[in-house]
Amino acid sequence: MNENLFASFAAPSMMGLPIVVLIVMFPSVLFPTPSRLINNRLISIQQWLIQLTSKQMLAIHNQKGRTWALMLMSLILFIGSTNLLGLLPHSFTPTTQLSMNLGMAIPLWAGTVITGFRYKTKVSLAHFLPQGTPLPLIPMLVVIETISLLIQPMALAVRLTANITAGHLLIHLIGGATLALINISVTTAFITFIILILLTILEFAVALIQAYVFTLLVSLYLHDNT
């Protein structure tokens, strides 16, 4: 069972060729480019959603921060669509791989930090010491703030990986338990099935929420630094 449980998280490859590249590129097929003023229904729905999200997400940024709009919107679209596609049966979710999430988190976080240091050096350094701290506490607090800054990309990546992986694992386990319980006691199997349904609803929400949280945090780091 152990081998079967974690086998779905292995990167898929066909005869040694990594088709994980194809799976990572698949969500882009579901977002066609609009070519006219008034498009078909799929594109219109996506345009409306993107407008809604971008207005809310970019409201707190100043002119400099808004140059990141494309990056943030494509980030939330990518993570959201990849997580939602991973809820289909038998599919592979790229965001369960820590390597990919680190690859997304570290460059973005580093970008915000370097932007802050480059354009507003004093203010960025001043973030290491909150206002009004008592004098004896200052050295320790600077160390703590540095550590909390350096841990931000790790936290971003591990948060996304752990949430999605844990959700998928729970669905696998509870589904397996439901199947195994059918032969033993049908009512318990039914209760477990209800739990499975609730869990699936939660996973849909988690898929979207994780995308949102990731993007929101990146934009917050950006806001601090522009």
What residues line the site for other proteins (CB under 8 A)?
A: 1, 4, 7-8, 12, 14, 19, 26, 29-30, 32, 40-42, 85, 88-92, 176
Residue 192 C-beta: closest distance to other proteins, Å: 16
Residue 1 C-beta: closest distance to other proteins, Å: 4
Cα separation of 73 and 51, whole Å? Answer: 10
Residue 22 C-beta: closest distance to other proteins, Å: 9
Residue 60 C-beta: closest distance to other proteins, Å: 33
Nearer to other proteins by Cβ, of 13 and 56: the residue is: 13
Nearer to other proteins by Cβ, of 8 and 200: the residue is: 8
Nearer to other proteins by Cβ, of 55 and 90: the residue is: 90
Nearer to other proteins by Cβ, of 8 and 165: the residue is: 8
Residue 225 C-beta: closest distance to other proteins, Å: 39
Nearer to other proteins by Cβ, of 22 and 126: the residue is: 22
The radius of gyration computed from the CA coordinates of the chain, to the nearest angstrom, equals: 22
Which candidate, 148, 166, 60, places its Cα nearest to that of 109?
A: 148
